[in-house]
Amino acid sequence: MQAVEMNQSLKECAAKVKVLLMDVDGVLTNGLLFYLPGPDGEIFETKGFNAQDGLGLHFCHVVGIRTGVISGRQSPALSERARQLKFTYVYQGLLKKQSAYEEILRDAGVADQSVAFIGDDLTDVPLLKRAGLAIAVANARPEVKAAAHFVTSARGGEGAVREAVELILQAQGLWDNALSEFDISL
């Protein structure tokens, strides 16, 4: 694993993160939505998730960083993925995300500077402007990138979340701890 390049300011922001939140479509996924017929003939929506992002989120869990999503869409596929990854916070169907964010801050007992948020589109900008560590994926809208402290080299759904996790864990000196929890030595 190659160390993520970070300046002192970025390292200081990442070192404070206790809660990692993110959008879903375009961040945890590549943004494509698939509508398929079910056995009953009804159409259902599904999406694909990146396995490397998933392992990165497991790394967060084992070192005590809480994780969660605030998504504009409702999705059974997301509900299942969130269960598998042991997300602490799952909010769906919210294009206006501030109220969920406020609820998370209260529940976690943290302030903005202890939150990292990963986004890709305009509805994410209000949270990016508040988060102590604002992260945009490589294929985010220009306005989102402008609001970010860090832009991943990976696109949403293609390892961007993993890249953000590695940045945070490296800044906190927790990368080796996370790996050792899975008996990994590099």
CB atoms within 10 A of CB 139: 20
Average of per-residue pLDDT across 45-51: 91
Mean pLDDT of 52-75: 96
pTM: 0.94
pLDDT score of 6: 72
Whether pLDDT at 56 is above 70: yes
Residue 134 amino acid letter: A
Q: What are the residues facing 69 on neighbouring strands?
A: 22, 90
E-state strands within the chain = 19-22, 34-37, 43-46, 66-70, 89-91, 115-119, 133-136, 150-151
CA atoms within 13 A on the CB side of 8: 0
Domains and CATH numbers, the chain: 8-180 (3.40.50.1000)
**pLDDT above 60: residue 2:** no
The mean pLDDT value for 112-117 works out to 98
Q: What is the pLDDT of residue 3?
A: 58
Taking all residues of the chain, what is their mean pLDDT, rounded to a whole number?
94
Q: Report the C-alpha gap between 184 and 92 in whole angstroms.
A: 34
Helix, strand, or coil (residue 54): helix
Of 3-7, 17-21, 45-49, 75-79, where does mean pLDDT reach its minimum?
Answer: 3-7
pLDDT class for 5, splitting at 50, 70, 90?
Answer: low
Per-residue pLDDT of 19-38, as tens digits, reads: 999 999 999 999 889 999 98
Sheet holding 89-91, edge to edge: 89-91, 66-70, 19-22, 115-119, 133-136, 150-151
pLDDT at residue 124 tops 70: yes
